[in-house]
Amino acid sequence: MLRAAFRLTENTDPEERLEEAALWKAMHDHYGPDGIVAVRELSQAPDGLPMFGRTPKFPVQSANPVSDTLEYWTDRAFLAACRREFYTVPFEAAEKLVRGIQARGKGAFIKSTSLKHYTAIVQRDGDFREALGDMAYSFMDGGPLLMVQELATIEYEYRYFAIDGRIVTSSPNMTALTPIDYPLPPGTVYRTPHDPVPERRHEILQALSRLAANVASSMAVPHACIDVAMINGGPGIVEMNPMQIGQVGLFACDVRALARASETLVASYVPEPAFGFGQSSTDEEDFNDFGP
């Protein structure tokens, strides 16, 4: 009996195409040929089935069993462990906060609460309105909120995949890594996402893993993709994203572990009402890709 579907795309990015192939193979092996079906890029999921993989903006509706909305900036688990000045405010309050951060000798990083909408850096001697430019108008008069945070030192970023409040697999956040690199030698980390030289830092990875496990068990949602790193010299959370299998960058994670854990998502899936012509399930980018 069919239990799930998986959308295969025409993606030509080398890492993303490999990730998709490895994940589809793991899902197919887990569910078997009678349990999961491949669906073309612009086709809808079969009636009532959850859909894994990438979701284009239109004309298909997302049937991913996890919502594409995760307001992690309101989650106490995130706020308690972000390890930097962090505020979520309307545009009208953001400029004052940036000036305060600058007065304390730091730059500021600004990010929209709307998915993949906007980010900006305001250096210690920079101008807030100049940094935003014409984008400022999109935040005025009831637009998306702004996450205003100090420009922190972020190193050794690591991604943890949490389903049902527990970590099921993880990987260093390094752009060239793919599931064929799994498993990595114990303790492997990378100083930055673009640094090709691995380091063996067991103590750093242990600290990051402890933090991720604590966040997974205490966060307000049951499932999340949790990015942690050494922030200003200690373990902290960079951000959290919806745990949509096939939408998040996998790096060198264990795709078979993800396939096994997807059972929880399939079991809890409730189909959403279909949207009509001219509507889309999201107003974001062509693909809701939370990967690198």
Same domain, 140 and 232: no
Q: What is the reported pTM?
A: 0.90
Q: What amino acid is encoded at 185 in this protein?
A: P
Q: Which of 107, 131, 150 is the last residue of a domain?
A: 150
Same domain, 101 and 130: yes
Same domain, 157 and 144: no
Distance CA 238, CA 203 (A): 19
Q: Is residue 181 part of a domain?
A: yes
pLDDT at 132: 85
Give me the domain span that covers residue 245: 153-266
Ranges of residues in the chain whose predicted pLDDT is under 70: 57-60, 273-292
pLDDT at 16: 92
β-sheet bridge partners, residue 148: 87, 110
Q: Is residue 271 part of a domain?
A: no
Same domain, 100 and 186: no
pLDDT at 288: 40
Number of domains in the chain: 3
Same domain, 129 and 179: no
Q: Among residues 62, 37, 58, which one has the least CA distance to residue 274?
A: 62
Q: Is residue 227 part of a domain?
A: yes
Q: What amino acid is encoded at 207 in this protein?
A: A
Same domain, 104 and 177: no
Q: Is residue 199 part of a domain?
A: yes
Same domain, 132 and 197: no
At 244, which CATH number? 3.30.470
Same domain, 99 and 196: no
Same domain, 140 and 226: no
Q: What is the 3-state secondary structure of 211-255?
A: HHHHHHHHCCCCCEEEEEEEECCEEEEEEEECCCCCCCCCCCCCH
Q: 3-state DSSP call for residue 6?
A: strand
Q: Which of 66, 97, 119 is the last residue of a domain?
A: 66
Q: Is residue 281 part of a domain?
A: no
Residue 97: CA atoms inside 13 Å, Cβ hemisphere, count?
19
Scanning 32-135, the segments in alpha helix (DSSP H) are 76-79, 91-103, 128-132
pLDDT at 282: 39
Same domain, 132 and 162: no
pLDDT at 43: 84
Same domain, 254 and 182: yes
Q: Are 193 and 173 in contact (CB under 8 A)?
A: yes
Q: Are 163 and 261 in contact (CB under 8 A)?
A: yes
The per-residue pLDDT for range 13-56, each reduced to its tens digit, is 999 999 999 999 999 999 999 999 999 988 888 888 999 998 87
pLDDT at 274: 61
pLDDT at 291: 43
H or E segment to which residue 260 belongs: helix 255-268
Q: Is residue 89 part of a domain?
A: yes
Q: Is residue 41 part of a domain?
A: yes
Same domain, 157 and 241: yes
Q: Is residue 176 part of a domain?
A: yes
